[in-house]
Amino acid sequence: MYREWAPGAEALYLIGDFNNWDRQATPLRRLEFGVWEVLLPDAEYRSRLTHGSLYKVHVVTAGGGKDRLPPTLRRAVQDEQTKDFAAQLWQPETPFAWTDQQFDTAAAVREPFIYEAHVGMATEEGRVGTYREFAENILPRIEAGGYNTVQLMAVMEHPYYGSFGYHVANLFAASSRFGTPEDLKFLINEAHRRGIAVLLDIVHSHAVKNEAEGLANFDGSGNLYFHRGDRGNHPGWDSKLFDYGRPEVQRFLLSNLRFWLEEYHFDGFRFDGVTSMLYHHHGEGVAFVGYDNYFGPGADEDAILYLQLATTLAHGFKKDSLLIAEDMSGLPGLCRPIVEGGVGFDYRLAMGIPDFWIKLLKHTHDEHWQLGDLWHTLTNRRAGEKTVAYAESHDQALVGDKTLSHWLFDAGIYTHMQASDPDPGAARAVALHKIIRLLTLAVGGEAYLTFIGNEFGHPEWVDFPREGNNWSYHFARRQWSLADNPDLKYHQARRFR
């Protein structure tokens, strides 16, 4: 049985290699509430609609017909020649054999020590890394570093690699560019074997505006999953905004959370872009200085309700699931239980701390640092709401910015990194890099996070292949050999966990 929700559509047809992509061969019939369905009898389709089959849904609207990707597809693959995406039926004969039944998230993660990572850029070679390679080569490094949690970015399928995984098109699909669903399950199973919890960087704050790959204008109405008109467009992200007040959208997103917990055994989520969700103004150009900023007319009550439902579902389905909110506004109660009127998250990111360190390094010589200001910034958080402290994340590593090590070493990051090099500036940079991380870890919050490679002062920013850099992978990788070489200062930085 194949079903679809498309109340604004005039007709739907299931198409694929099983019916030679005939746009008239397999029509769906309309039911109540805008639901469409078609039954594919085993006797007729079992030999044609098989593991690996490609398919789409042809949606006819008042504006014409378009081949679309089903919103709840489990796997999307890209044609190497045409670059078009298609849904792929994924039903291997032998299901993945999980061995993590004894893994206890609460026991493994009493205090989260989080390693934020991107599977594709985790290899040193100039290419896209895989789930298997990450499990075999990077998880041992994470375990050796003492981290008890890995936070995976860019897992939800996204058509443009350079979006860092934040312009999601297919919410129920693990990105096929890194491997198969079984490969991702292998990664998570292996992490659990090593006593490491795995969080999904989940993107429910917005979605890609592409119609060919994503959800936008699926049924021709202009407001199926997203708000109609300007309210459905994020002014800064060039993407679409979900209509959290619509029951069908709530169920779509909530079922997405359960899917990742149940199907892939994720241990929780880092919710991206929560500030954008909480307010109609998305936090842009607003200084949050009083309660009127939090609870006035700018608050999006539909989104707040959705987040309360989301945390309730996650904690209800998996009691010890770990839920982290990326919020820079400081909304009171965000990390308090629902019964107290809170939103139900376990932790919020201390987004002001990395901004503080970068501002300090850009404008103030270290001998002029004001320790009172430093202490205030590191300890300025709401009592009773847990915080993830971090000196830098992927945001500070992007091209156009600099990592802490790059700010500290400056040009010396390319010329004075031999361990035997007596350059005083480089020695001072190594010491300050350690001090910044130590202070952030010690007093910045109740949990700690670092971005892949930053623990050893990775020398360069992150820039994914794009036309502007001639589609190079040079900056979309991690140079592990630098950290492993005892003759380099990177090795010294890595040893200071």
The residues that bridge with 323 in the sheet, in sequence order, are 269
Going by DSSP bridges, is the β-strand pair 35-38/29-30 parallel, antiparallel, or unpaired?
antiparallel
**Residues 328, 390: Cα–Cα separation, whole Å:** 13
Side chain identity at 306, as an amino acid letter? Y
Three-class DSSP labels, the chain: CEEEECCCCCEEEEEEHHHCCCCCCCECEECHHHEEEECCCHHHHCCCCCCCCEEEEEEEECCEEEEECCCCCCCEEECCCCCCEEEECCCCCCCCCCCCCCCCHHHHCCCCEEEEEECCCCCCCCCCCCHHHHHHHHHHHHHHCCCCEEEEECCEECCCHHHCCCCCCEEEEECHHHCCHHHHHHHHHHHHHCCCEEEEEECCCCECCCCCCCCCCCCCCCCCCECCHHHHEECCCCEECECCCCHHHHHHHHHHHHHHHHHHCCCEEEECCHHHHHECCCCCCCCCCCHHHHHCCCECHHHHHHHHHHHHHHHHHCCCCEEEECCCCCCCCCCCCHHHCCCCCCEEECCHHHHHHHHHHHHCCHHHCCHHHHHHHHHCCCCCCCEEECCCCHHHHEECECCHHHHHHCCHHHHCCECCCCCHHHHHHHHHHHHHHHHHHHHCCCEEEEECCHHHCCCCCECCCCHHHCCCCCCCCCCHHHHHCCCEHHHHHHHCC
Dihedral angle, C-alpha 327, 369, 405, 350, nearest 10 ° = -10
- The catalytic position among 183, 243, 272, 346 is 272
| Contact present, 420 and 454 (Cβ < 8 Å) | no
Half-sphere exposure of residue 222, counting CA atoms within 13 Å on the CB side?
A: 8
Q: Would residue 326 show up in a list of annotated catalytic residues for this protein? A: yes
> How many whole angstroms from its chain centre is CA 394?
11
Q: Which residue in 182, 243, 267, 326 is the catalytic one? A: 326
Structure tokens at 495: 């040893």
* Active-site residue list: 272, 326
